[in-house]
Amino acid sequence: MQYYMCIIYKIAAKELCISPKIHLCMYFFLDMQRVLIYTDIVERRLFMIRQHNSKETRDLLINSAIENFLEKGYSNTRLEDIVSRVGLTRGAFYWNFSSKKELLEEVFVRYEKFYSDIYSSYEHFDSAKESLRSLFYLDLKKKNKLNPYVTIFRYKIEPSDEVSELKERQASMDETFSAFIEKEIKRGQAQGEIGADKNAHELALSAYMMLLGFDTYNSVHFSASDEEIYPDSFIHKLVDMIMSFLD
């Protein structure tokens, strides 16, 4: 369009004997048109970048993936299922993730953070037993709502070479968290709160397995809900039972 406008202006200037000043104004007008068009193109592209690369877009894709994985499993979820659920395009997906596997990786990061937050935020006491009680209560309290990550990574991902490393990462998480409990138990033994004749490693594994069993059971027997599954009194009873192994 700009090319043809330029030709018209040249012909008009030649045939109508337009003065140099008017001729200059015509070219100035033409240049302004170019600037406006280029500015519009740049603004549109910047808008697309902001939309595709925003945290909101990433969160929409991740949450859509979580819902699809829960419903269909990882293998049966298509890229189209993920983007169409939240009204986005394949372009928006590939702007943020290179593949469905990379998106699964992001979900796993959230899974890890859910548990690591528990072990980094419980209330500490001089008494090791009170610290353990605080940890166990916080763990069960946070998992007293359905945890979608547990359901996905324990029941909705079919074994394959593509996801083989997830098993190793889960094992690493288990070792890290059970070692955390074991460290507190040994501190309690050093302070005389827990019998020194007890095997700290076995006690830690027993406690950790109970905590694991809690959200595993819930993920099988309850549907997705933001409501707490059990009353707080029941959570305290479970904590008392776990603590009884340390007496």
pLDDT band of 43, cuts 50, 70, 90: very low
- Look at 61 and 148; give whichever has higher pLDDT: 61
Cα separation, 151 vs 221, in Å, equals 11
- Look at 149 and 200; give whichever has higher pLDDT: 200
Q: Contact, 61 vs 103, CB < 8 A?
A: yes
- The residues, ordered by sequence, that sit 6+ positions from 228 with a Cβ below 8 Å of its Cβ are 144, 145
Task: Tell whether the model's pLDDT for residue 49 goes beyond 50.
Answer: no
Task: Tell whether the model's pLDDT for residue 158 goes beyond 80.
Answer: yes
pLDDT band of 203, cuts 50, 70, 90: very high
> Looking at residues 100-127, what average pLDDT do you find?
92
Phi, psi of 68 (to 5 degrees): -70, -40
> Looking at residues 185-192, what average pLDDT do you find?
96
Smallest CA-to-CA distance from 55 within 107, 96, 98 is with 96
pLDDT band of 225, cuts 50, 70, 90: low
For 34-43, 87-96, 124-133, 163-172, which range has the lowest pLDDT when averaged over its residues?
A: 34-43
Cα separation, 95 vs 46, in Å, equals 13
> Looking at residues 28-54, what average pLDDT do you find?
51
> Looking at residues 94-104, what average pLDDT do you find?
91
Average pLDDT, the chain: 82
Q: State what percent of residues in the chain have pLDDT above 90.
A: 52
pLDDT of residue 42: 42
Residues 97, 98, 103, 106, CA torsion sign: negative
Task: Tell whether the model's pLDDT for residue 45 goes beyond 60.
Answer: no
The pTM (predicted TM-score) of the whole model is: 0.73
pLDDT of residue 101: 92
Task: Tell whether the model's pLDDT for residue 5 goes beyond 80.
Answer: no
Q: State what percent of residues in the chain have pLDDT above 70.
A: 77
pLDDT band of 244, cuts 50, 70, 90: very high
> Looking at residues 87-113, what average pLDDT do you find?
91
Task: Tell whether the model's pLDDT for residue 192 goes beyond 60.
Answer: yes
pLDDT of residue 216: 87
Amino acid present at 89: T
